[in-house]
Amino acid sequence: MKNLIFVKLGGSLITDKSKPYTARLDVIKRLCKEIHEAREEKNFALLVGHGGGGFPHISAEKYQTHKGVINERSWEGFAKVQDDAAKLNRIIVSALIEAGENAVSIQPSASCIAKNGRIIEWYTRPIEIMLSEGIIPVPYGDVCLDKKKGCCIISTEEIFRFLAKKLKPERIIMAGKVDGVLDQKGNVVKKITKRNFKIIKKSLFSSDGLADVTGGMLHKVEKSLETGVKIEIINGLKPNLLKMALIGKRNLGTIIN
């Protein structure tokens, strides 16, 4: 789709992972305002996905939902993790509406099926129509029914991997709480390609120094390379960076291409 951008708001960015169920409302509000300002300045279609951070990750850890149906409490975990993920989604969608955007939730667990942790089918017709009408569809890291494991967790990166193939965005912006992909010295890696990834791979940190059930920064970069779309990883904590990235400014973080 021409002029289509995917934006990911990272779970570590929009929640305080050290406290359960704590959304960073000030950050969310500012990011939504930046999105709205960018859309006022420039004409583009937008899909916003977000991670779960301190909302579903605690229950997901507890029930080990990413491993599938492993015991008699796994479906209980499935229900609780989806409830937690959906709670944060309400906060994000409401904030986007509050900022002046027509944003609508897309519940992945109601509209797609995975196999071994990878989405294999998705009823994307509603997303396609919404995008063509200027609405921002807002999917999120969620649980998913899995043909092999019973259930699984699908990260925003996995969602983008699948949707990018189908919807063909021009680029993807991933806003986290670090300046980009960092090497072991803490410096931003300016550009990652399939060619230099093997070397860089060894020295990647996770998005907040801690791996989570969706796999941290390594997972993010691997899924990103798989999309075949140009991806920019930027620091969403720095005011205006998301807006600048949306209107087309370059060199704001790490580019994966």
Chain residues binding its own copies by CB under 8 A are: 75-76, 78-80, 82-83, 86-87, 90, 93-94, 97, 101-107, 109-113, 121, 123, 125-127, 129-130, 133-135, 145, 150
Alpha helices in the chain (DSSP H): 11-14, 25-41, 56-63, 74-98, 108-111, 125-132, 156-167, 194-201, 216-227, 241-247
Q: How far is the CB of 257 from its own copies (least distance, A)?
A: 31
CB of 25 to its own copies, least distance (A): 16
Smallest gap from Cβ 156 to its own copies, in A, equals 16
CB pairs under 8 A, 24+ apart, for 116-120? 116/146, 116/147, 116/148, 116/149, 116/152, 117/66, 117/146, 117/149, 117/152, 117/153, 117/154, 117/158, 118/158, 118/162, 119/144, 119/154, 119/158, 119/159, 119/161, 119/162, 120/147
Q: Which residues pair with 150 in a beta bridge?
A: 146
Q: What is the CA 153 to chain-centroid distance, rounded? A: 13
User: What three-state secondary structure class fits 135?
Assistant: coil
Nearer to its own copies, 126 or 209 (CB): 126
Nearer to its own copies, 107 or 206 (CB): 107
Distance CA 5, CA 29 (A): 20
| Tally of CB atoms within 10 A around 194 | 11
Give min distance, CB of 41 to its own copies, in A: 20
| Closer Cβ to its own copies, 82 or 207, answer by number | 82
Looking only at the bridges linking them, the beta strands covering 230-235 and 254-256 are antiparallel
In a 10 Å sphere around its CB, with 0-12 CB exposed, 13-18 middle and 19+ buried, how is residue 186 labelled? exposed
The least CB distance from residue 159 to its own copies, in Å, is 13
Nearest CB to its own copies, comparing residues 112 and 252? 112
Nearer to its own copies, 97 or 247 (CB): 97
Q: Cβ of residue 128: shortest distance to its own copies, in angstroms?
A: 10
Residue nearer to its own copies on the CB measure, 112 or 241? 112
Please identify, using beta-carbon distances, which residue of 122 and 164 lies nearer to its own copies: 122
The structure tokens listed for 225 are 């390379």
Distance in Å, CB of 119 to its own copies, minimum? 12
